[in-house]
Structure 1
Amino acid sequence: MGQSEVLNTRQRAGNLTRATVSSHLGFILLSTLALMLMFSLLRLALFIYNRELIGSTPASTFFEAFFNGMRFDIRAVVFALVPLVFALLSASAMRWRTLWRIWLTCFASLTLFLGVLELDFYREFHQRLNSLVFQYMSEDPKTVISMVWYGYPVVRYLLAWAFATWLLYLVFRGIDRATRPSATGAPIAAWYLRVPVLLLVVALCVLASRGTLRQGPPLRWGDAFTTDSMFANQLGLNGSLTLLKAFESRMDDDRDRIWKPTMPDDQARDTVRKMLVLPDEQLVDTDKAAVRRDYTPPASGTLPVKNVVVILMESFAGHYVGALGAKGDITPNFDKLSKEGLLFTRFFSNGTHTHQGMFATMACFPNLPGFEYLMQTPEGGHKFSGLPQLLSARQFNDVYVYNGDFAWDNQSGFFANQGMTTFIGRNDFVNPVFSDPTWGVSDQDMFARGNEELDKLAGEGKPFYALLQTLSNHVPYALPKDLPVQPVKGYGSLDDHLTAMRYSDWALGQFFEKAKKSPYYKDTIFVVVGDHGFGSPEQLTEMDLFRFNVPFLIIAPGVQEKFGATRDTVGTQIDIVPTIMGRLGGETRQQCWGRDLLNLPAGDQGFGVIKPSGNEPVVAILNGGRILIKPKEGDIRVYDYQVGANPQIKRVDDAPDRPELLHRLDSFIQTATKSLLDNTGGVVDSKPAKN
């Protein structure tokens, strides 16, 4: 080695060991800028990937969203810089540049991975990363991995992530070299000079992480919701932070995710009783139960039926149902069936996850903040006033037919506890037409087996009820190779989803063709309802109502003659059980959190309380054509809305009914939550029918 090389080597070694406060601050500053740029690029990628959601929103709105996003991003960056900031206390710690490069690269790589994951997560759920991630991770790993592997370009994403991680390492190495002190630099400052610098930097970090100069809490979820565009508001969040918040909520022993009471319990209970109890109902056990009541529907409203079949259609979004005004011929079979029954045109799911659709539809209990995965919590072991309890008390036989595994979402455990006895799942099908490695058999196989099971039950001579649940219209949309329908084209990223929906609709039509030939058909009330909708390029309010709007169709002998072909009464899935019981007739003691939609007082437009999945801190109440949206934090908004052929919204400022709607919403959530926690939400001494 020559003399010059030796000097250069010594000079480099000296540079590494002569860390100074200014050089360390320079390293922190440039690293901050690099991380902020990365987060902005991730936000830009999310924006471009989901550009179908831009619609008519002006560019200025998205500039505002990106600015809001920077406020959240700097908070995430501060978390990464904490160890570097406190390294100012130690001269040796400031020299650990290799360690800091690795730490920053790992942090950036992890957040980059989450950003890549979020591209399709947002496209599917129209939400930033949240507790749904942990919910899926807690389910059967084999099924989840299969869903991801077959539903998304995993290898391509992983390669892109690995390459970007390498680039990030090069960036931080370049920052390291650019901020090394010169060999002739000043000696490091004494500790008593470094401490004031540290305190100043810490103060700046605290200010940056708070994101606001106001008194009280720091930057909150609601601070991103500053525009009328849901897409722009969601862009203003930081996916890594929303996921971290969801993790904290999941681990919170104090269950902070449960909304706290806002009024005296008796005041909230009395309000809910006025909301739910119909003139034909009589409250019982008023000292113990919130809305337990006896109900004998008027004979004029009953139908000549003795059996019940509920068909829960996966992702059957009302926005794409022809009978509700959609174009494209996505659901020709449902559209044809709707002409034979009673179709509700303003009906909504209580949540945006199949899990919520199941317990709302069958157990008649609402989707509440903190209990979105009710079937998997200790409270899910309570007895609810749902169809299984009410009809088991009447000695009905039952069957639950499903494409997949009943272990998913604890379906068999929950419904067995409610009173169901017979379960037909993916392992019970013999020689199915099609079975995919993720979910199980196809919808046509499920419906074919459903026909068989219903014929078998009818042959036993006793009344029965059944739940048939579809699954093919779910990522990865694994369908038979030779499709019996034409693939849907012209809807961009939704083509595959809508093709699966058209296929499910075809399978539904096949089921009814066979059912109509069976003797039990004339004695049966059929209910067809979507478990939830899904997002579309157009969005109605920050609740994204298209994810909740689903069809609700009742097919039964004499239903059109008594009730007409359509109803625009607002309802949700918790109204299904009391509506069914009203058609069966006989005295029933129940504590459903919905109402018989076909026996409402004159002029009652109906109402519903809805909440998205993923522990997103927002709820809403719909009342007729109006919706009030209440986040846990942030502005409360009121809109006039319209779904169907001409969907639209109009924000209503200073709405005169705002206080009343808010009071009813708060009362409903508070009373239902208390009932759940106190385990007083079921039926005591359920009464059989008096015929």
Structure 2
Amino acid sequence: MLKAGNGVDYSVTNVLGIFGIGLFYDLINSLYFVLPVMLLGWVTPSRFAGKRGFKIIAFILQFILVFLLLLNAVSEWVFWDEFSSRFNFIAVDYLVYTQEVVGNIRQSYPVEAIIGVLLVLTVLLTVLVSRMATRWTFRPMRFGRRSLVLGVYLLVVAAAFAMVDNKLRQFSGNVYVNELAGNGMYELFAAYRNNELDYNQFYAKLDEQQASSLIRSMVQTPESHFTDGKRFSIERDIVNTGTELHKNIVLISVESLSADFLGSFGNTQGITPFLDSLAGQSLLFTNLYATGTRTVRGLEALSICAPPTPGQSIVRRPHNEDLFSMGSVLGSKGYQARFIYGGYGYFDNMGYFFGHNSYGVIDRTALSKKEIDYENIWGVADENLFELASREISAATQTGKPVFAHIMTTSNHRPYTYPEGRIDIPSHTGRDGAVKYTDYAIGQFIRLARNKPWFNNTLFVIVADHCASSAGKTDLPVNRYKIPLLIYSPGFVKAGTMPRLMSQIDIGPTILGLLNFSYRSKFFGYDIFKLEPGRERAFVSTYQSLGYVKNDSLVILKPQKVTETFTPDFKDGSARQTSPNRHLVDEAVAWYQAASFQFKHGLMKR
């Protein structure tokens, strides 16, 4: 609570809830946590109960459990430092990629010293608790009675499993209060149970015919014509006039680049000098929102141009092959599509997803040791990534075919390390330095590209995958989803600003529209230049809460079929709940229901 600081609403009700409900979840968690002790007591014959060997085994088990509790406390602190919440769906994801996560922690914190302190504390606490426990723990008990005790315990555990979930802690309108009222271990367990959410089971929905009609009316634009009348089908022909321009496309998705890092959005720290200078030569989009809070959400939006579906990103789900994607559209136009990443492609299933959706995948394995100036657990330094990208683009363009290169950076990520001497902020000192280093690397890439033969025929698109932080006092603080977008192509794209509300899923269709491409589309996104005024909207989400932004309103869809409507403050992220606008709620439901239906039933396939 002290760490959350001013983010907490310290009313009497909230403080009582934090500690009262928190205690309840601590007790529920303890039921699960003591299972090894209960089983040990049950399988141990009475004649061994007070023997030295059994006591040693019990004390070792106690030592392990106490150490896990202390390790969990430190881990929760570190996790809160990064995400301003207790363990959640992200923590479950990270457990799958132990090498990267453990490596990241080792590079960010003095792990050996922390473990040493925890071991000393564990010894002290084990000795203390052992002296109290030996007075009554090691009494002989017949097997029948032990079985009865275990049976009652298991019934209580089963009842807790069936009747208690993590919704009780969500009693306040303040997100920090709700997080504090939970228990980290329990939240990790709850997130594991709910990492994939069936839309029809958990969320508000419309009659399928109504939802289908509504989504078709919302995706249709003046330049599009539907190809069929099937339920939930949004397949349509996009017809743009003029000559198709087969320019190279270099899409740079920058790790955690919040809009408010840029001077163009009011930042005065000077940590993005190159991007700020480039903004004056580019078309700068000033009202763009990321769909989610993870890299895989950004990659999903940029590649398949679909609203976020609850639970896992489609990048990480089974049956995500052969989807209609930017890679497939541009491939049909003769492009060579590449996903270029500075880390290992297996992380977050990125390599598999892009490799099975019309992209060639190039990751850090394409670089030799001598080509890497610096690397951390997430990947090579961004400057080395861009050197790799430049090499691949140059080689591909020599074949005479245009290139679509989607480059994903990694340096703006804890532990915030990068080669020394590149910028005036020392490595490993914080996010500001990482942002400035990534800005430096992008600048170096663009300046070198200007000397390449393919530069004058290239469209550069620079955007964030998501913001640096998504935490706030409200469920979906919209200011924490605002990201920059620059489209730079001297002599082709006129410098200026685009202030219209826009979603990350609109970037793909907008790029295709700029190049006058006509194509068959299954994208949910709009070409912002063809869209009639007043139809703009954006999507923001966590893995459970699905937000729909339109006309200065925010509709949030939650599990248990909850729908809420707010008037958000786009500057500080606060939101005032208002009476629901039925039509706006129906629109939100139709977008998300349609996206979930399409993926589940294979309608997103090529």
TM-score (normalizing by structure 1): 0.76
Q: 1:570 to 1:167 in 2, by over 3 A?
A: farther
Q: Is the counterpart of residue 552 in structure 1 residue 552 in structure 2?
A: no
1:262-411 to 2 correspondence within 5 Å? 262-287=205-230, 290-299=233-242, 306-372=247-313, 374-381=314-321, 383-411=322-350
> Among residues 441, 452, 463, which one is paired with 2:391 in the alignment?
452
| Aligned residue identity for 2:403 | F
User: 1:426-456 CA deviation, whole Å, 9 max, x = no partner?
Assistant: 4325633612252332111222333333344
Q: Is the counterpart of residue 515 in structure 1 residue 449 in structure 2?
A: yes
Q: Quote the Cα distance in structure 2 between the aligned partners of 1:521 and 1:451.
A: 11
Q: Aligned residue for 2:72?
A: 114
User: 1:97-143 CA deviation, whole Å, 9 max, x = no partner?
Assistant: 9577766654443233222212112221233223433433333x544
User: 1:133-157 CA deviation, whole Å, 9 max, x = no partner?
Assistant: 3433333x54443222212221122
| Aligned residue identity for 1:465 | F
Q: 1:133 to 1:455 in 2, by over 3 A?
A: same
Contact persistence 1:284–1:294 (CA under 8 A) = yes
Q: Displacement of 1:391 after TM fit?
A: 0.6
Q: 1:361 to 1:321 in 2, by over 3 A?
A: same
Q: Displacement of 1:648 after TM fit?
A: 4.2
Please give the secondary structure, in 2, of the residue aligned with 1:482. Answer: coil
Q: Aligned residue for 2:10?
A: 58
Contact persistence 1:625–1:640 (CA under 8 A) = yes
> Among residues 668, 671, 676, which one is paired with 2:599 in the alignment?
676
Contact persistence 2:335–2:403 (CA under 8 A) = yes
Q: Quote the Cα distance in structure 2 between the aligned partners of 1:198 and 1:401.
A: 55
Q: Quote the Cα distance in structure 2 between the aligned partners of 1:410 and 1:206.
A: 34
Q: Displacement of 1:342 after TM fit?
A: 2.1
Q: Quote the Cα distance in structure 2 between the aligned partners of 1:133 and 1:294.
A: 41
Q: Aligned residue for 2:537?
A: 607
Q: Is the counterpart of residue 533 in structure 1 residue 467 in structure 2?
A: yes
| Aligned residue identity for 2:168 | D
Q: 1:150 to 1:306 in 2, by over 3 A?
A: same
Q: Quote the Cα distance in structure 2 between the aligned partners of 1:674 and 1:409.
A: 23
User: 1:216-265 CA deviation, whole Å, 9 max, x = no partner?
Assistant: x8444333233333222211111111111233346xxxx65555273332
Q: 1:219 to 1:137 in 2, by over 3 A?
A: closer
Q: Is the counterpart of residue 623 in structure 1 residue 554 in structure 2?
A: no
Between stretches 354-363 and 416-425, larger displacement belongs to 416-425
Contact persistence 1:220–1:633 (CA under 8 A) = no
Q: Aligned residue for 1:239?
A: 184
Q: Quote the Cα distance in structure 2 between the aligned partners of 1:584 and 1:218.
A: 56
| Aligned residue identity for 2:106 | W
Q: 1:429 to 1:63 in 2, by over 3 A?
A: farther
Q: Displacement of 1:308 after TM fit?
A: 1.3
Q: Aligned residue for 1:25?
A: none
Between stretches 391-400 and 61-70, larger displacement belongs to 61-70
Q: Quote the Cα distance in structure 2 between the aligned partners of 1:327 and 1:442.
A: 26
Q: Displacement of 1:500 after TM fit?
A: 0.5
Q: Aligned residue for 1:573?
A: 504
| Aligned residue identity for 1:617 | Q
Q: 1:59 to 1:178 in 2, by over 3 A?
A: farther
Contact persistence 1:611–1:620 (CA under 8 A) = yes
Contact persistence 1:340–1:560 (CA under 8 A) = no
Please give the secondary structure, in 2, of the residue aligned with 1:247. Answer: helix
Identity of aligned residues (%): 23
Cα root mean square deviation, aligned: 3.8
Contact persistence 2:487–2:493 (CA under 8 A) = no
Contact persistence 1:318–1:546 (CA under 8 A) = no
Q: Aligned residue for 1:38?
A: none
Q: Displacement of 1:310 after TM fit?
A: 0.5
Aligned residues: 596
Q: Quote the Cα distance in structure 2 between the aligned partners of 1:362 and 1:518.
A: 26
| Aligned residue identity for 1:574 | I
User: 1:67-92 CA deviation, whole Å, 9 max, x = no partner?
Assistant: 3312221211233467989989x996
Q: 1:92 to 1:142 in 2, by over 3 A?
A: closer
Q: Displacement of 1:294 after TM fit?
A: 0.8
Q: 1:588 to 1:566 in 2, by over 3 A?
A: same
User: 1:622-674 CA deviation, whole Å, 9 max, x = no partner?
Assistant: 2243222233149644333344xx434231332x42x3333233322222122
1:55-204 to 2 correspondence within 5 Å? 55=7, 57-58=9-10, 60=12, 61-80=14-33, 98=55, 106-139=64-97, 141-176=98-133
Between stretches 627-636 and 307-316, larger displacement belongs to 627-636
Q: Displacement of 1:469 after TM fit?
A: 1.7
Contact persistence 1:642–1:648 (CA under 8 A) = yes
Q: Aligned residue for 2:559?
A: 632
| Aligned residue identity for 1:296 | V
Q: 1:119 to 1:431 in 2, by over 3 A?
A: same
Q: Quote the Cα distance in structure 1 between the aligned partners of 2:265 and 2:458.
A: 24
Q: Aligned residue for 1:226?
A: 171
Q: Quote the Cα distance in structure 2 between the aligned partners of 1:585 and 1:248.
A: 46
User: 1:565-623 CA deviation, whole Å, 9 max, x = no partner?
Assistant: 2233333322111111111113210101211122211222x2223322xxx43222222
1:474-489 to 2 correspondence within 5 Å? 474-487=413-426
Between stretches 276-285 and 585-594, larger displacement belongs to 276-285
Please give the secondary structure, in 1, of the residue aligned with 2:119. Answer: helix
| Aligned residue identity for 2:21 | N
Contact persistence 1:222–1:633 (CA under 8 A) = no
Please give the secondary structure, in 2, of the residue aligned with 1:346. Answer: strand
Q: Which of structures 1 and 2 has the bigger CA Rg?
A: 1
Q: 1:495 to 1:667 in 2, by over 3 A?
A: farther
| Aligned residue identity for 2:287 | R
Q: Aligned residue for 1:647?
A: 572
Q: Quote the Cα distance in structure 1 between the aligned partners of 2:460 and 2:10.
A: 46
Q: Displacement of 1:177 after TM fit?
A: 5.2
Q: Displacement of 1:404 after TM fit?
A: 2.0
Q: Displacement of 1:295 after TM fit?
A: 0.8
Please give the secondary structure, in 1, of the residue aligned with 2:250. Answer: strand
Contact persistence 2:477–2:573 (CA under 8 A) = no
Q: Quote the Cα distance in structure 2 between the aligned partners of 1:457 and 1:680.
A: 32
Q: Quote the Cα distance in structure 1 between the aligned partners of 2:138 and 2:510.
A: 77
Q: Displacement of 1:504 after TM fit?
A: 0.1
User: 1:457-516 CA deviation, whole Å, 9 max, x = no partner?
Assistant: 44443322111221111222221022323359xxxxx95122111110111122222223
Q: Quote the Cα distance in structure 2 between the aligned partners of 1:503 and 1:201.
A: 55
| Aligned residue identity for 1:527 | V
